[in-house]
Amino acid sequence: MTSDIITSTQNPRIKRIVALQEKSAERRRQKKFVVEGRRELGHCIGAGFEVETLFICPDICTEADSLRNKCPEAECLEVSAHVYNKIAYRSGTEGVVAVVKTKIRTLENLELTENPLIVVLESIEKPGNLGAILRTADAAKADAVIICDERTDLFNPNLIRSAMGGLFTVPTISCSSETCIRFLKSHGIQILTAQLQDSSPYYSTDMCQPTALIMGTESTGLTDIWRKAADAHIRIPMRGNLDSLNVSVSAAILLFEAVRQREA
């Protein structure tokens, strides 16, 4: 730990971390991202991500020594409360912000359970939706969340915040739809597409076998490549006047139907 405390928001180190928070291009260029909070950081370290720098506010953080012990190779810097408020993306993050090196997960190193349950999301745009799905996927103990034809930065601060650590506890992989379909079929995983057309109620479809639940955007749904690759089309019956749910709500319903069937 350095003896000096950073008190200026104009410090070059502070400017760099703010840039990482605000700009996806900067995250891609540096191959780094930012994690806030003791819980999220713990999940991040547990998933094997390398912490480069810890920014700790001694006025707020009560577990500085424990955090340093968890990532002994990381540089540790103290910041004032004023500076911490500048670099923290949200309040209530226990006085710690970390710069972490990006680790890319791939289908090739994905370890599947004997009876895998996977969520596949095509062209999902909103970080908050994806973060909520990751949190649900963790609760349902899904094997992975696969993002096809990615339209949002997986290390967006809004995504990390809404996932509550789910980005690290659930293997999250980005690839093309074609690559994903080949992977699922080669591993004998049935493809269930959530769609209104030519579909059956989700609760009448067998999810006890290896299963991938495929969902698209609320505005356009899934593309034809997924409709044609599907083993079955499923829908959530809508009783009201609207014809769709938020994708994160749909994911929760379908995931826990799979859990219910497997535990019955």
Last residue of a domain, one of 82, 101, 120: 101
Q: What pLDDT shows up at residue 180?
A: 98
Checking if the pLDDT of 93 tops 80, the result is no
Last residue of a domain, one of 73, 101, 129: 101
User: 242 and 179: one domain?
Assistant: yes
CATH of residue 236's domain is: 3.40.1280.10
User: 189 and 82: one domain?
Assistant: no
Higher-scoring residue by pLDDT: 146, 196: 146
Checking if the pLDDT of 2 tops 60, the result is no
Which DSSP string corresponds to 210-221?
A: SEEEEE-BTTTB
Checking if the pLDDT of 1 tops 60, the result is no
User: 135 and 184: one domain?
Assistant: yes
| Number of CB atoms found within 10 A of residue 123's CB | 18
Residue 257: give the domain boundaries.
107-263
CATH of residue 89's domain is: 3.30.1330.30
User: 141 and 162: one domain?
Assistant: yes
> How many Å apart are CA 116 and CA 189, to the nearest integer?
8
pLDDT in tens, 199-242: 999 999 999 999 999 999 877 789 999 999 999 999 999 888 87
Confidence band, pLDDT 50/70/90 cuts, at residue 172 = very high
User: 134 and 243: one domain?
Assistant: yes
Quote the pTM value.
0.91
pLDDT in tens, 94-132: 899 999 999 989 999 999 999 999 999 998 889 999 999
Domain count, the chain: 2
Give 5's strand partners: 78
User: 37 and 146: one domain?
Assistant: no
